[in-house]
Structure 1
Amino acid sequence: MPTVAVDELKEEDFLLDVREDDEWQAGHAAGALHIPMSEFVARYGELAEAAPQDGRVNVICRSGGRSAQVTMYLAQQGVDAANVDGGMQAWEAAGRAVVDDNGQPGAVA
C-alpha cells in the first residue's frame, strides 16, 4: 500500500481525515477534508467533489490503521491515494499545526 511520511507532505497537498467527529473536533490539520471512516462509503461523493482530479489523496487518522483501510478502498476505486504513516500522532510530533473547529490550537485525541 502506498504510504507517505508526514515530512514529505507539502502544505498544498490534499489531506483526508477519517477519524471520528470527537477526534476531529479536538484537533486536526487545517484545510483537511473530514469524512469519518464509519460514514465514508455513504459520503464518498464528498471526496469526489473535493479531491484534486490529478493529485493524490493523502489519508490520515490517529495512528494509521483506519486510514490504511480507507487508502486500500480508494486504490480499489482507482484513486491515487496514500496512507499517512503514523497518522495525526506523527503529524503533531513533527510539529505540524493542529487546530480545533474554531481555528485555535488543538490536540490529537
Structure 2
Amino acid sequence: MTAEQPATPTSHRMPPVHTDPRDVPLEAALTALADPVRQTLVRELASAGDWERPCGSFDVPVGKATLSRHFSVLRDAGLLEQRDAGPKRLNRLRRPEFDERFPGLLDLVLRDEGGTR
C-alpha cells in the first residue's frame, strides 16, 4: 500500500451502480421481473430485512457469473440496491421506491409465487 492508494476493504471490485426507479421504463421493469431466477431473488429479498442477504446466500440454479448478471439486471431496473461489506455484497429490495414508480407491479410478482408460466 502506498500513500497514493488508500486502503479499501473491497478494492478488488468496483462498487455497484444503481438506477433510480424513477428513471426506469416500464419495459425494463417487466423484463427484469419476467425471469424466474430474478423472481426468486426478489421474493427472497422481500421476505428478508434490508442488508441481511449477501449475494452468495441465494439458492438458485445458476453459476456465479450468471447470478451476478441477474443482480445487475435487477439494479438496472431499480429493484435492487447493493453495498459492499468487507468481502460480501449485501442486498436491499428497493420496494418503497419501486412501488412509487410502478404501483402494484411488485405485489403481482410476489403474489404469483407458483402462478402461471
In which range does the TM-score fall when normalised by the shorter chain?
0.3 to 0.5
Tell which structure's C-alpha radius of gyration is larger: 2
TM-score of the superposed pair, with normalisation by structure 2: 0.37
Instruction: Please identify which structure carries the higher helix content.
Output: 2
